[in-house]
Amino acid sequence: MPPDSWKDLENAIGYHFRNPDWLRQALTHRSHAEEAPAAGGDLDNEQMEFLGDAILGFVISASLVDRFPDYDEGRLSKLKAHLVSAAHLHPVAERLEIGRFLLLGKGEELSGGRSKKALLVDTLEALVAAIYRDGGMAEAHRFVRLWIMDSVNWAQPPAVDFKSELQELLQERRASPPRYHVVREQGPEHQKLFTIELKIGGEQVAQAEGSSKKAAEQAAAQIALSRLRESETA
């Protein structure tokens, strides 16, 4: 049975689980599952996070196409990138107080896991999957629209800072910081095109172009983020 406090989360999201095991799995960090007894122990939320990420991407993509039928692919992609970014999802997880409901192992608890940005974002994605598994796509869509889309100022959606997100992800993984190098400059002074190479720990991870060094660095960071996150689920 789930803790009574989880009713607060159900009340906040406006959805009550028919099978509370889905909610329990969504809120169970790997550190807790590893400490649980092998027989009958809890499942962690990593697969739920994988599924939730896919559902979130689909629901947001479909909603954006419906909301902005005249937008081209590039503009839609930028809006989607903002909506699925940790910078946008983290405040949502904080408003829901997701950290309060987590099942953590002792080590993760002591290291401040309840307030870690990446952990909270991952759990929010797992929660999307839990709602889908328990109530279907309509309920998952309602949750995403209410909590993740309706909080946006659609007239001026904020830009995604991919460089900051990459920095935070690497810090979470205790990895080397990213290094950006200009490898090529093309065109006249008033219309230059910069090519940036991004390395992590001496290894090239991404290369991208932009009309300024800053734009090229952001593009390279976006590519690196995508590749690093794909490697987590490979």
Residues taking part in catalysis: 53, 125
CB 179 within 8 A of CB 200: yes
Residues 102, 114 contacting (CB under 8 angstroms): yes
Between helix 117-135 and helix 162-172 the angle, nearest 10°, is 100
DSSP 234: -
DSSP reduced 3-state for 65:
helix
Q: Which residues pair with 200 in a beta bridge?
A: 178, 203
What is the CB-side half-sphere exposure of residue 160 using CA atoms within 13 A? 23
> 145 vs 48, 151, 192, CA distance in Å?
19, 9, 40
Write the DSSP string, 74-135: HHHHHHHHHHTSHHHHHHHHHHTTGGGG-B--HHHHHTTGGG-HHHHHHHHHHHHHHHHHHH
